[in-house]
Chains A and B, each alone.
Chain A
Amino acid sequence: MSTNSATAQQAPTGKAPAEQERVSAFAGLSRVMLLGFLRDRGTLFFTLILPLLFLLLFGSLYKTSSSPQVKVAQVGAVQLLDHAQGEQQAELDKILKITKYQEQDQDTALTKVRKGELDGLVTSGPDGQVVLRFSVSDQVKAGSVQAILNSVVQSANQQASGKAPAFTLAASQVEDNSLKPIQYIAPGLMGYAIAMGAVYGASFTLVNWRKKRVLRRLRLTPVSPVAIVGARVGVSVAVALAQTGLFLAVASMPYFGLKLTGNWWLIVPLVVCATIAFMSIGLVTGAVAKTEEAANGLNQIIILPMSFLGGAFIPLDFAPGWLQTVSHALPLRYLITSAKSVLSMGGGVMDVLPSMGGLLVFAVVMTAIASRFFNWDDA
């Protein structure tokens, strides 16, 4: 039935008809992967929204806790505090936040001190005595409030004596004055977000395409493996750079106050290398796992400890020595420490180059491991 009618019609050429419009497999694949990312609400939430919420939360939290103000209740008149004026008043306001209470409200104020809502209660005693009552539930605050009031009393005494002080203490922080918690928090959470995006991007593509036989189907199209890998890396890097941009934009808002300095643009090649390293982790989990659920579990088992040990949530400076040693095996550590260095601490090319090299070596090793587990299909 077919062979006869075939002669009457134009035979297929096996080639696409000449068309003006030109399209490339690379562009087609990139589009597929980008749409897959943007249309997956779960992925969007975990790679963008959640880390950003963490940034807002931690950023605000550490911002207030870094304030050195000690809150005290002043019950009735206290000459020492009431008579502070001018410069003295300004100095006091920096370290003390005073709430005034009437004498009959003393019990209310005391309850607040017990609950830890206030750090101390000040009243006047007989003979110019200043009475301080405090709770030791927060030992740091208890120490501060004693020290502060003691120094206020001392300097008042010294002033009362009418002589210039014989000794003065000039204290200053060793860190640059502009160093704020956001400089630790932003690179850490950004690294966490990038790791999530890149690991999941690679592993889910691999698992889903294998499960849905897309990998096999692609083998029967003339698409080159270079186009597939290139498109996947391209899309993941684009997502990672978008995450970087978003994080830096949010952290640089005046409220959080991150100030980019010097060679901060070095973050771009650094993020590219880190993304490739994270993707290689995804390749391994994607090659081993048969389903998205299994891949999800494996990814979490890797990303969460890596984030804690790599300094994404807690600065590594506070970590014990053995933990710092462990962190040297984790690609996230290199991204976070180098990002911290180039973004706001004046790090240069030589600070990131070794990290970038290490990340790429890591990627090569993991990719080699992944290729040993790789299968075109489940059969």
Chain B
Amino acid sequence: MTAAISADGIRKRYGDVQAVDGVSLTVETGEFYGILGPNGAGKTTTLEILEGIREPDEGRVELLGLSPWPRNTKLLPRIGVQFQASAFFNKLTARETIRTFASFYGVGPKRADAMLERVGLTDSASVHTDKMSGGQAQRLSIACALAHDPELVFLDEPTTGLDPQARRNLWDLLRDINSEGRTVVLTTHYLDEAEVLCDRVSVMDHGKVLKTGSPTALVREIDDTVRVSVESGQLTAARARELFGTAGAEIANLEDNGASLSVSTRAPAPVLSVLAEQNALRGLEVRGATLEDVFLQLTGREYRA
């Protein structure tokens, strides 16, 4: 079976900016694949090259065994695309919008309406698209991408700007789409999203893929400490340091910021037992490494606007 997507050494330059600098990736059929990266990492350009809206300066792309560039009308009915910002026609309601998109694929209004119901927009079917909330617009945009039952779906930051309820609601929808056997490629800068949804992720920065793997494998790979924290005021920092030393717990970092006393360690067991002995477990939190730690380790901590 051919891979759903195979890209090899794609590059794209805009003036002085090397937006994509030699990206290679393979997405298996049925996989939920995430492309992670900070703003300006080259995620959207990579996605646009994969979709076939942009021609790469170099490199080769195949979707479902076909080349997406130049525009390939044999391939287009098999893929579904959702843009970062929704692309709707002027002055149409939600129902009219999805029926129009469906008509481009010869899909009738019944199936279009069913898709509207699927994303939970039946009640808002008569709302004009410019009056919809962010979550509604994203769901409509996804419904438009799915109206023709594509095998391969591209989603560009589908949950950006949504409130937590709308995000979780959308995650359920995306999981369903994938579990029906569709290959889904998604870009995001939310790491929890990638961790929850993706089978595999590629972390991108400066136009390059830095690392690819399943979220759990990536997290396990980084040699990080466990962070234990309790409420402040139960134990002074100095006393804690002394007790941990006596108990033989190796401490990477210890600090009290006034709200909580946090300890970073590779050996959480003796730390926890000392805290238990001191009856200082109020507000206890133990946190292992997450994809965020992987991400920050790979892309650095400095802020980039």
Interface residues in chain A, defined as those with a beta carbon under 8 Å from any beta carbon in chain B? 1-3, 5-7, 9-17, 19-25, 27-29, 31-32, 35-36, 39-40, 208-209, 212-214, 216-224, 376
Q: How far apart sit A336 and B126, CA to CA, in the bound complex (Å)?
A: 42
Say yes or no for B62: interface residue by CB 8 A criterion: no
Return the chain A residue nearest B149 by Cβ.
A12
B104 x A1 contact (CB < 8 A): no
- Chain A positions within 8 Å of B184 at CB level: 2
A32 x B92 contact (CB < 8 A): yes
- Chain B positions within 8 Å of A5 at CB level: 179
B90 x A36 contact (CB < 8 A): yes
B149 x A2 contact (CB < 8 A): no
Partner of A31, one of B100, B101, B179: B100
B107 x A19 contact (CB < 8 A): yes
CB of A376, distance to nearest CB on chain B (Å) = 8
A2 x B32 contact (CB < 8 A): yes
Partner of B106, one of A23, A29, A218, A220: A23
Say yes or no for B189: interface residue by CB 8 A criterion: no
Q: How far apart sit A24 and B105, CA to CA, in the bound complex (Å)?
A: 8
A1 x B175 contact (CB < 8 A): yes
CB of A314, distance to nearest CB on chain B (Å) = 36
CB of B187, distance to nearest CB on chain A (Å) = 16
Partner of B182, one of A12, A16, A23, A35: A12
Q: How far apart sit A24 and B52, CA to CA, in the bound complex (Å)?
A: 24
Sorted nearest first, the 5 A-B pairs with minimum C-beta distance are A28-B103, A21-B108, A14-B78, A6-B181, A213-B87
- Chain B positions within 8 Å of A2 at CB level: 30-32, 175, 178-179, 181, 184, 199
B100 x A3 contact (CB < 8 A): no
Q: How far apart sit A19 and B114, CA to CA, in the bound complex (Å)?
A: 13
| 7 chain-A/chain-B pairs, Cβ below 8 angstroms | A3-B30, A11-B181, A12-B182, A16-B77, A19-B111, A28-B103, A222-B104
- Chain B positions within 8 Å of A1 at CB level: 32, 175, 178-179, 199
B interface size (C-beta, 8 A) = 49
A12 x B180 contact (CB < 8 A): yes
Known pairs A6-B30, A212-B87; A221 contacts B109 (CB<8 A): no
B111 x A220 contact (CB < 8 A): no
CB of A262, distance to nearest CB on chain B (Å) = 41
- Chain A positions within 8 Å of B71 at CB level: 219
Say yes or no for B51: interface residue by CB 8 A criterion: yes
Say yes or no for B301: interface residue by CB 8 A criterion: no
Residue from B178, B179, B199 having most chain A Cβ neighbours under 10 A:
B179
Say yes or no for B3: interface residue by CB 8 A criterion: no
Interface residues of B in 69-126 (CB under 8 A from A): 71, 73, 76-79, 81, 83, 85, 87-92, 96, 99-111
- Chain A positions within 8 Å of B21 at CB level: none
- Chain B positions within 8 Å of A11 at CB level: 151, 180-181
Known pairs A16-B149, A214-B87; A3 contacts B104 (CB<8 A): no
B31 x A3 contact (CB < 8 A): yes
B148 x A213 contact (CB < 8 A): no
Given contacts A12-B149, A16-B77, A27-B103, 10 further A-B contacts (CB under 8 A): A2-B31, A2-B32, A6-B179, A10-B180, A13-B151, A16-B105, A20-B108, A24-B103, A219-B71, A223-B104
Say yes or no for B150: interface residue by CB 8 A criterion: yes
Say yes or no for B53: interface residue by CB 8 A criterion: yes
Q: How far apart sit A175 and B195, CA to CA, in the bound complex (Å)?
A: 86
Q: How far apart sit A2 and B31, CA to CA, in the bound complex (Å)?
A: 6
Return the chain A residue nearest B81 by Cβ.
A220
A14 x B91 contact (CB < 8 A): no
Known pairs A16-B149, A28-B100, A214-B88; A23 contacts B108 (CB<8 A): yes
Partner of A14, one of B111, B149, B175: B149
- Chain A positions within 8 Å of B91 at CB level: 35-36, 39-40
Return the chain B residue nearest A21 by Cβ.
B108
Q: How far apart sit A40 and B109, CA to CA, in the bound complex (Å)?
A: 24
- Chain B positions within 8 Å of A222 at CB level: 73, 76-77, 104-105
A25 x B104 contact (CB < 8 A): yes
- Chain B positions within 8 Å of A217 at CB level: 81, 83, 87
Q: How far apart sit A216 and B76, CA to CA, in the bound complex (Å)?
A: 13
Residue from A3, A19, A27, A219 having most chain B Cβ neighbours under 10 A:
A3
Residue from B79, B88, B101 having most chain A Cβ neighbours under 10 A:
B101
Q: How far apart sit A15 and B180, CA to CA, in the bound complex (Å)?
A: 15
- Chain A positions within 8 Å of B89 at CB level: 32, 36, 209, 212, 214
- Chain A positions within 8 Å of B99 at CB level: 28
- Chain B positions within 8 Å of A209 at CB level: 89
- Chain A positions within 8 Å of B100 at CB level: 28-29, 31-32
A14 x B151 contact (CB < 8 A): yes
Return the chain A residue nearest B84 by Cβ.
A213
B180 x A6 contact (CB < 8 A): yes
Known pairs A3-B30, A6-B30; A23 contacts B110 (CB<8 A): no
A212 x B76 contact (CB < 8 A): no
Q: How far apart sit A218 and B104, CA to CA, in the bound complex (Å)?
A: 9
CB of B142, distance to nearest CB on chain A (Å) = 13
- Chain B positions within 8 Å of A9 at CB level: 179-181
A17 x B181 contact (CB < 8 A): no
Known pairs A16-B106, A25-B103; A220 contacts B76 (CB<8 A): yes
